[in-house]
Structure 1
Amino acid sequence: MPQLADQVVIVTGAGRGLGRSIAVALAAEGARLVLVARTRSQLEETAALVRDAGSEALALASDVAAPDAASGAVNASLKHFGRLDALVFGAGVSVTRAALEVTPEDWDHVVGINLKAAFFWSQAAARHMVTRRTGRIVFLSSVTGQVGMPWLAPYSASKAGLAGLTRGLAAEWGANGIRVNAIAAGFVKTELTAAELSDERLVRRIVQRAPLGRLGQPQDVAASAVFLASDASSYISGHVLAVDGGWQAA
C-alpha cells in the first residue's frame, strides 16, 4: 500500500523546483495535494503531473506572504478534501549579494517568506491538526543554514532560523500528536539553481568536498520529504535532516 494513501498534504512553492518534485513524489505515494505557488500556469503544470501520478490536486495561486494565504489554503483543503494531514513548506526566495550591500528591503523579503511565512503557515495548519491530535509539518531548509556561506547572509539566517523553529514547534506541539521536522538540502540541480551551478569551478569544489561525489538531484530531497510526511518517521520530530551527500560531514 502507498505510504500516504488518502492523506492530504499542502505543498507551498509547488510551482517548480524542489516543491514540484516533492509534490509529485507525495502523489506517487497516494497523497492528495493542495498545491500553492504564485504563478497559476506553473501550478497547473504541477497539478497535471500529480494527476499523471494517479492522484488528485487542488491548485491555489497565492503569495505565501499574504496575511490570509495560510488560513485560506487550510480552509480550502478542508472544504475540498475534508481533511488536512501534513504541510510541506517549500516556498523560498534568496538574494545573492555581499552582506555590506544588503538592504532592509532585501532582508525583509527573504526572511519574510523563508521564516516568517513558514511560521504562520505552520500555525494555520496546526490549528486544525491539534483538534485531530495528529499531523506532520516539514520545512525545506538548506545546508547554508548549517554552514556559513558568503553572499547569502539573509538566506542563511532565514534557514538557520528554520532549524530553531523546527525544534521549538516540535517541543510545543508534540503533545498534540504533531511532528515537525526540516530538510537541510544541499546543492541540488533545479531550474532555480541553474545559473549558480553553471559555474563549473563552483560545481567542482562542491563535488570534491561531498563524500558521495555528486550534486544532489530533486528526487533525493523529495524522497526525504515523503519519509518525514509519512508514518515511516513516526518517532522523529524536531530533527533537521541533512540531504547533502555528506557535504557537512567533510
Structure 2
Amino acid sequence: MIADSNELFDLRGNVALITGGASGLGQYYTKALASAGADIFIVSRTDKGWKETEKIVSNYGRKVEFIQQDITEKDAAKKTVSNCVNKFGKLNILVNNAGVQIRNNILDFKDSDWLKVININLNAAYFFSHEAAKVMLKHHSGKIINIGSMQSFRAGKFIFPYTASKHGVIGLTKAYADALAPEGIQVNAIAPGYIDTEMTKVLQKNEKRNQEILSHIPENHWAGPSELMGTVIYLASKASNYVTGSTIAVDGGYLLK
C-alpha cells in the first residue's frame, strides 16, 4: 500500500539537530524542518538569531532548544548530542550545516585560515556524524544531511580550504552512507548553488563575476534561501528512505554547463 504523500513528508515526532541553525541558510533549514513537524535543537558559536529563530519555530507549534558551543572544540559533538538527547529524549535527524569561507590569493593564505575552514566545514561534520550515529544505531533509523557546495564539484582559486572541505564533505557522505545503510540510516548531502546570502554578497557586488555566474545558470537568477527548503524536508523524511549516499545539487542547472 502506498503511503499518503502528506505522511511521507511528515516529520512530527522527530528531533533535528542543526549546526549553525539560527542564522543564514541554517535558519531556513530550521524553518523547513519545523514546518514539517520536527522539534529542533540548534548549536551555534554565538546566540545570534536565537530569538528570531525561536519565534519562527514556535509559530509552527514546535519546540526549539539552543546550546552555545564552538563546534571545533574537543568533545563539542559529544556534548551537543548528549544535550539534545537529554532535552528531547531522541535524535532522528542531523543537519551538518555550519560552515565558513575565507578568500585570499594563493600565496597569501595563512595556515591558520586553512585549519579554521577545515575544522568547521569538514572535521566538525565528521565528529557530529559520529556521535549522532551512536544514537541512531540504537533504533536502526535516522537521517544525516551534510551541506556541500558547487565547490564540491568545481575548483575555487581563491577559496582553497573551502573547496577542499566541500569535496571532503561529499566523500564523508558516501563513506557514512555505505557504513550505515544496513542499519536503516540514510546519509545524503545538499549542494546549494549560488544562493543570495551574506556569504555571497561579495560575488553579487562584483558586476563582472555576477554576470559570469548568471550566464552559467539556466534559470538565470540567484536562488532565494527558501528554495532549499523542500530538499531538506525530503532528505529528512520517509520519502527518501531508499536514497542514500547521494548529493542533490540545488543549483538552477549550474552544473549542466
Q: Matched residues, percent identical?
A: 34
2:231 is matched by which residue type in structure 1? S
**Which amino acid is 1:131 matched to?**
K
What is the DSSP-based 3-state SS (H/G/I as helix, E as strand, rest coil) of the residue aligned with 1:132? coil
The 3-state SS of whatever aligns with 2:33 is helix
Q: CA deviation at 1:176?
A: 1.4
Count of residues in Structure 1 that have an aligned counterpart in Structure 2:
250
Q: Deviations over 1:157-187 (max 9, x none)?
A: 0000011111011001111111111111111
Structure 1 residue matching 2:199: 3-state secondary structure: coil
- What are the residue-to-residue correspondences of 1:14-163 with 2, within 5 Å? 14-163=21-170
Residue 192 of structure 1, CA deviation: 2.9
Give deviations 1:71-97, integer Å, cap 9, x for gaps.
Answer: 122112211111110100100011101
- Match 2:181 to one of 170, 174, 181: 174
TM-score computed with the length of structure 2 as normaliser: 0.93
Structure 2: gaps of 5 or more residues: 1-5
Partner of 1:246: 253
Of 17-26 and 60-69, more deviation after overlay is shown by 60-69
- What secondary structure, in the 3-state scheme, does the structure 1 residue paired with 2:221 have? coil
Partners of 1:50 and 1:197 in 2: CA distance: 30
Residue 128 of structure 1 aligns to a residue whose secondary structure is helix
Q: Normalising to structure 1: TM-score of the pair?
A: 0.96
Unaligned runs of 5+ in 1: none
Moved more, 38-47 or 184-193: 38-47
Question: For the residues of structure 2 that align with 1:188 and 1:130, how far apart are their CA atoms?
Answer: 34
SS of the residue corresponding to residue 200 of structure 2 reads: coil
| Distance in 1, Cα, partners of 2:233 & 2:133 | 19
Cα shift at 1:57: 0.3
| In structure 1, distance between residues paired with 2:35 and 2:205 | 31
Distance 2:155 2:173 in 1: 19
Show structure 1 runs of 4+ deviating over 6 A.
none
Deviations 1:12-37 (A, max 9, x none): 11121100011011101101000111
Whether the 8 Å contact between 2:192 and 2:251 is mirrored in structure 1 is yes
Q: Confirm or deny: 8 A CA contact 1:187 1:216 kept in the other structure.
A: yes
The whole-number CA distance in structure 2 between the counterparts of 1:102 and 1:41 is: 28
- 1:225 aligns to what? 232
Q: Separation in 2 of the partners of 1:127 and 1:42?
A: 29
